[in-house]
Chain A
Amino acid sequence: MNKTIIININGIVFHIEEDAYEILKNYMTDVKRHFSNSADSLEITTDIENRIAEMFSEVLEKESKQVIVEQDVNSVIEQMGSVADFENAENEDKATASAFTYNGGESRRLFRDPDDHLVGGVCAGIANYFDIDAVWIRLAFAVCFVIAGSGLILYIILWIVVPKAVTRADRMAMKGEKQNLQGFKKNFEDELSSVKQNLSNFGHEARPFVYKARDFAGDFFHHLGVFFNGAGRVLVKMIGIFLLLVCFGFAIFLIVLLIGIVGFDAMTFHHVFPLSVFESRNMDAIVVSAFVVAFIPVLSIILLIIKALFNTRSINRSAGSTILVIWLVALGFLVYYSVKTASNFRDGATFMQTINIKARVNNTYYLKINDLKYFTAEDSARLNIKTLFNKNMSVIDNDDNIDRELDNVNLSIERSDVNQPVLVESFSARGRNYDEALYNARNTKYIFTQQDSVITFDPKLRRNREDSWHGEDVYLTLRLPLNAKVVVDDDMGRIFGFNIYDCKVENKKENARAATFIMTDNGLQCKVDTLVTAKKDSLKRDSTR
């Protein structure tokens, strides 16, 4: 008594004993693997399957039994021939193959060459593909290795994606014996085969039609392949290579960025605005996950293009799903930190303090921007400021944009009711709750100095470089008594957004470096020097006469 299995060979149902089924399955797997390098693998294996089905039917009918047994399978295999037999025949095949190849265009497939390798055979494989000496490719890789290690990365990627030439057929394809874009066609046929499998179950009546449709599809893709092989091939390849280079450049950029941020100490970057939002202790995790989230799609695109372009096999399914899981985990990290960071901005707090400014007798104040660079004690020690620069020297802060988190200092000038001029500083910040927001606001420092009538403002609000950014800003209100004169210079106007140009025009002094304003009942207004304007007007009138 034996267990039987029901199998379906292209729409015909057979009962087969378990042992016999194992043998048949192994045989078909071998056959499929053997022909998997051929463009017509599907057609050939289907032919063989159909013929096996037919032989089974004949055996069952002749011996009027119902079940296929081991002996039947063995005799069928004997008649069909083992894979070893196919290989022998194929070697003979190659000799004459070229005699009947009309569609000329011999092109090569990219393989790693196991016969001529230093490391993984990648260089030799590429050399075979382009039919040049391997030395030049190796030289090119060596040169690229110096450029940010890109040669190494490229080599490793190619090592992973490019299959090794294992069989004799592989080696022949590597050295240019087969038509290209077969892989493209084969993939298509693989996908098609599952569709056909369903179609063939439609029923006995529909079958001839289905078979015709299948042949048409096969022929269609064959001719499509031939077309691409000829006219379109060069263009497609060029576009592919261009895309590949773009993606590759982007991947290298990402890697350099990662190494720059994580490898060379996050200190250098983490206080720069967009990154300063995050807390510095989470910085590396955030940067790495952001890198993974960006890098994996780029890598997948590169692999896809290489696959389409050089007709290589794709990476296996488990590796693919592992990469997908890594990507999702990294994405999860990123979302988690983003939400966490967003919660740091939930509540806001503001506090004010008023500083008296020494009143001047002539009631004139010069507003200037402090363009000196301040160093923390740490930086100063690191850069050897004291020994390198003597005390008379000053370092000018000229990086206008990189360090300034949004516009965090605002200045307005208002009229004061009393004679005592004051500066009101209003600090505000955000935090997880009110206490934290207030703490963040207090944790900042604004520097302004007064020397005689010159008041120097700092262009930015200072805070601890180690802390993350919490939307800290400061609103400065300078309250000056009536008729106080204010001289605003160009830098001041530019940074705090005063329109001093119109005032200069009004005074006909477009080239002046500063403009003078006066405090009136209606607030600050341009002080028009009537003497100058009148004199110039009269002069003009004189000249016209």
Chain B
Amino acid sequence: MIVENTQTQMRKGILEYCILSIIAKGETYASDIIAELKKAQLLVVEGTLYPLLTRLKNNGLLTYNWVESTSGPPRKYYILSDDGKKVLEQLDKTWEELLFAVQTAIGDRKE
């Protein structure tokens, strides 16, 4: 139980970082994000992504454009806003620090 909890917490912490990173590459459609996250084994179902995207958008980190689709309704393509770019930079920095901390902490054990 504790193990699971820690795992979810760890995954959780980097999920939004990963989403922002994926979107930072350029205009991204939700199912593309899902595909990437599935590949990274961070998220399994699509439904959970939409609340996250909506919240990030409402916090001003993302914006989106409507693009007409040949199959089905128009699609929302997400891009990072200026705020989002700043936050991502901070997160990059934090991630490097974390990476350093983790590597330092486990460094001896792994060798």
Q: Is B51 interfacial (CB 8 A cutoff)? A: yes
* Those of A102-152 within 8 Å (CB) of chain B: 102-103
* Those of A29-56 within 8 Å (CB) of chain B: 31, 35, 38-40, 43-44, 47-48, 50-51, 53-56
Quick one: given A85-B48, A89-B48, A100-B16, are A208 and B56 in contact (CB under 8 Å)? no
* Those of B39-63 within 8 Å (CB) of chain A: 43-48, 50-56, 58-61
Residue among B31, B71, B76 with the highest chain A CB neighbour number at 10 A:
B71
Asked if A47 and B59 sit within 8 Å, CB to CB, the answer is no
Quick one: given A50-B72, A92-B12, are A38 and B51 in contact (CB under 8 Å)? yes
Residues in chain A near residue B56, CB distance under 8 A: 100
Q: Is A260 interfacial (CB 8 A cutoff)? A: no
Q: How far is the CA of A85 from the CA of B45 in the complex (A)?
A: 7
Asked if A102 and B59 sit within 8 Å, CB to CB, the answer is yes
Q: How far is the CA of A12 from the CA of B68 in the complex (A)?
A: 13
* Those of B59-104 within 8 Å (CB) of chain A: 59-61, 66, 68-69, 71-76, 87
Residues in chain B near residue A215, CB distance under 8 A: 66
Asked if B71 and A61 sit within 8 Å, CB to CB, the answer is yes
Asked if A100 and B48 sit within 8 Å, CB to CB, the answer is no
Residues in chain A near residue B50, CB distance under 8 A: 44, 47-48, 51
Residues in chain B near residue A44, CB distance under 8 A: 50-51, 54
Residues in chain B near residue A39, CB distance under 8 A: 58
Residue of B nearest to A81 (CB): B45
Residue of B nearest to A214 (CB): B66
Asked if B16 and A81 sit within 8 Å, CB to CB, the answer is no
Residue of A nearest to B48 (CB): A89
Residue of B nearest to A31 (CB): B47
Asked if B55 and A47 sit within 8 Å, CB to CB, the answer is no
Residues in chain B near residue A31, CB distance under 8 A: 47
* B-side interface residues, number (CB < 8 Å): 36
Q: Is B107 interfacial (CB 8 A cutoff)? A: no
Asked if A12 and B72 sit within 8 Å, CB to CB, the answer is yes
Taking a contact as CB atoms closer than 8 A, the residue among A57, A80, A208 that contacts B66 in the complex is: A208
Residues in chain B near residue A81, CB distance under 8 A: 44-48
Residue of B nearest to A103 (CB): B59
Quick one: given A54-B69, A54-B73, A96-B13, are A85 and B51 in contact (CB under 8 Å)? no
Q: How far is the CA of A92 from the CA of B12 in the complex (A)?
A: 6
Q: How far is the CA of A40 from the CA of B73 in the complex (A)?
A: 20
- Interface 1/0 per residue, B7-48 and A, CB below 8 Å: 011011101100000000000001100000000000111111
Q: Inter-chain contact count A-B, CB under 8 Å?
A: 113
Asked if B73 and A47 sit within 8 Å, CB to CB, the answer is no
Residues in chain A near residue B51, CB distance under 8 A: 35, 38, 40, 44, 86, 90, 93
Q: Is A391 interfacial (CB 8 A cutoff)? A: no
Q: Is A240 interfacial (CB 8 A cutoff)? A: no
* Those of A70-103 within 8 Å (CB) of chain B: 78-82, 85-86, 88-93, 95-97, 100-103
Q: How far is the CA of A53 from the CA of B56 in the complex (A)?
A: 24
* A-side interface residues, number (CB < 8 Å): 48
Residues in chain B near residue A54, CB distance under 8 A: 31, 69, 71-73, 75
Q: Is A10 interfacial (CB 8 A cutoff)? A: yes
Least Cβ–Cβ distance between A502 and chain B, in angstroms: 81
Quick one: given A81-B44, A101-B59, are A92 and B9 in contact (CB under 8 Å)? yes
Quick one: given A81-B45, A211-B66, A222-B58, are A96 and B16 in contact (CB under 8 Å)? yes
Asked if B58 and A40 sit within 8 Å, CB to CB, the answer is yes
Residue of A nearest to B31 (CB): A51
Residue of B nearest to A204 (CB): B68
Least Cβ–Cβ distance between A263 and chain B, in angstroms: 54
Q: How far is the CA of A385 from the CA of B16 in the complex (A)?
A: 88
Least Cβ–Cβ distance between B101 and chain A, in angstroms: 18
Taking a contact as CB atoms closer than 8 A, the residue among A40, A58, A93 that contacts B71 in the complex is: A58
Asked if B54 and A100 sit within 8 Å, CB to CB, the answer is no
Q: Is A11 interfacial (CB 8 A cutoff)? A: yes
Residue among B45, B47, B48, B75 with the highest chain A CB neighbour number at 10 A:
B47
Asked if B30 and A92 sit within 8 Å, CB to CB, the answer is no
Taking a contact as CB atoms closer than 8 A, the residue among A10, A38, A79, A90 that contacts B73 in the complex is: A10
Q: How far is the CA of A79 from the CA of B48 in the complex (A)?
A: 11
Taking a contact as CB atoms closer than 8 A, the residue among B9, B15, B45, B75 that contacts A79 in the complex is: B45
Asked if B47 and A57 sit within 8 Å, CB to CB, the answer is no
Q: Is A465 interfacial (CB 8 A cutoff)? A: no
Residues in chain A near residue B66, CB distance under 8 A: 208, 211-212, 215
Q: How far is the CA of A10 from the CA of B50 in the complex (A)?
A: 17
Residues in chain B near residue A53, CB distance under 8 A: 72-73
Residues in chain B near residue A12, CB distance under 8 A: 72-73
What 10 pairs between A and B have smallest CB-CB spacing? A81-B45, A54-B72, A89-B48, A92-B12, A81-B47, A57-B72, A57-B71, A47-B50, A80-B47, A40-B54
Residues of B within 8 A of A (CB): 8-9, 11-13, 15-16, 30-31, 43-48, 50-56, 58-61, 66, 68-69, 71-76, 87
What would 8 A/B residue contacts be, using CB atoms closer than 8 Å? A12-B72, A44-B50, A50-B76, A54-B69, A57-B72, A61-B71, A93-B52, A207-B68
